[in-house]
Amino acid sequence: MKQFSILFLSGLVVALLNSCQNENQTSGELPLMKLEAIEQVNNPYSVIKVIPLETNGENLLGDQLTLKFSQNSWFIYDESARDGIHHFDRNGKYLSKYVEIGEGPGMLRGISDFIPTPEGMDILSVKGDQAEIIRLDKEGQQLETISIDYMGTSFAPLPGDRYVASGSYNLPFVKNRLAVINEKGETTKEWLPNTHEILPFGEKNFYTLGEHVFFHEIYNPNTYMVQADSLLLRYQFDFGKYSIPERFFEMDWMAGFEMLNQQGFATISQYWENEDKAFFEVAVQVDDELNKHQVILEKASGEVGKRITTATALSAFSSPVGMMDNFLVFIAQAPDYLKLNADQLPENSPKIQEGDNPVLLFVKF
């Protein structure tokens, strides 16, 4: 299978962000992002802190990772191995495999997404035509299982013991791409009608910062903030020549992806914001070549800039995982970290080997 279809199936779908006009959001109007208008920032990210993730024979990680964090821990799910969630403390020390996938006692059938909670963790598990949320305690023991009537592949918490879930473009499994689920597993509200039957795949759609839930999705040039009773459109994008043409949705999926790969196409792969700034990761893929455009918008001034990562340029910064203490956090594979120059790193940065687990890079945001 060609790389472009692998990217879609794995959820590591490409995104190219056509960038921002120098306008703040006004009532009645939303910022429109245009790629050609964004100035590329030539200076590299300034790394403030490096945390290596401890390596041993039981926790070797690949390069397709979902990382989430709580107040005291990092939790990492290897999307390739799919064997469980690894638990590290905030200094990178390996603690355990928090939960395992398998058929044995206490194991889970599968993991589609997960949320660290004060009590432990909530797991979204989808197998066949069954979807459920499994609540675990701090030791990974199952507390409660909630069957849900929406086939979501990604989810996030909402106030009032509710969740928002996305089923993406997976007709006929979901009629709407976004749904609010109550504490009983019942769907109470849905948005974004699913009118196109596209190859099913899973993607991570949400980022939670405090009580704010940010949402993006493939095939959609808009980003949103989700609230319990409303879906707020936040930013709109114009991908220009990399926009997905409408005829794609009427084509056989293999022929459609072949067309996209030849002409180039763009989708949004990461999005979040705080009070002062907004971050978007977009990537464009043409003929199996993938570039990621990381756009930072200064809300007060309207200034916007981007850095572009490729397989050979800024590769240590190709996987942003979120924000912490007003820093932007990346997870970098060991070989990419070792390519960084000393002047890009803080003094006394940790020494690692090429075969070690990834490191976490904290940069100014």
299: alpha, beta or left? (left if phi > 0; alpha if psi -120 to 50): alpha
At 237, the amino acid letter reads F
Burial (CB count within 10 angstroms: exposed 0-12, middle 13-18, buried 19+), residue 327: middle
At residue 203, the pLDDT reads 86
At 262, the amino acid letter reads Q
What DSSP line would sit under 68-90, residue for residue?
Answer: EE-SSEEEEEETTT-SEEEEEET
- Token pair listed for 140: 């990974």
* 190 sits in which H/E element: strand 187-193
pLDDT of residue 33: 86
Q: Is 277 helix (H, G, I), strand (E, B) or coil?
A: strand
pLDDT of residue 199: 62
pTM of the model: 0.89
CA distance 134 to 185: 11
Find the helix packing angle between 3-10 and 253-263, rounded to 10°.
Answer: 110
Q: What is the pLDDT along the chain (365 residues), one digit of tens a residue?
A: 333 332 333 333 333 223 333 333 333 467 788 977 889 999 889 999 999 999 999 999 999 999 999 999 999 999 999 999 999 999 999 999 999 999 999 999 999 999 999 999 999 999 888 999 999 999 999 999 999 999 999 999 999 999 999 999 888 889 999 999 999 999 999 999 988 766 666 789 999 998 899 999 988 999 999 998 999 999 998 989 999 998 988 888 889 889 998 999 999 999 999 999 999 999 889 888 999 999 999 999 999 999 999 988 999 999 999 999 889 999 999 999 999 999 999 999 999 999 999 999 999 98
315-331 pLDDT per residue, tens = 999 999 999 988 999 99
Whether residue 97 contacts residue 58, with contact meaning beta carbons closer than 8 Å, is answered with: yes
DSSP bridge pairs for 184: none
Q: Is the peptide bond before 172 cis (omega within 30 degrees of 0)?
A: yes
Cβ atoms 18, 33 nearer than 8 A:
yes
Which three-class secondary structure state does DSSP give residue 361?
Answer: strand
**Tokens, residue 72:** 């005291």
Q: Which strand (E) or helix (H) includes residue 289?
A: strand 289-298
From residue 92, give the alpha-carbon distance in Å to each of 72, 142, 199, 267, 349: 11, 25, 37, 32, 14
In the chain the domains, ranked by start, together with CATH numbers, are: 3-364 (2.120.10.30)
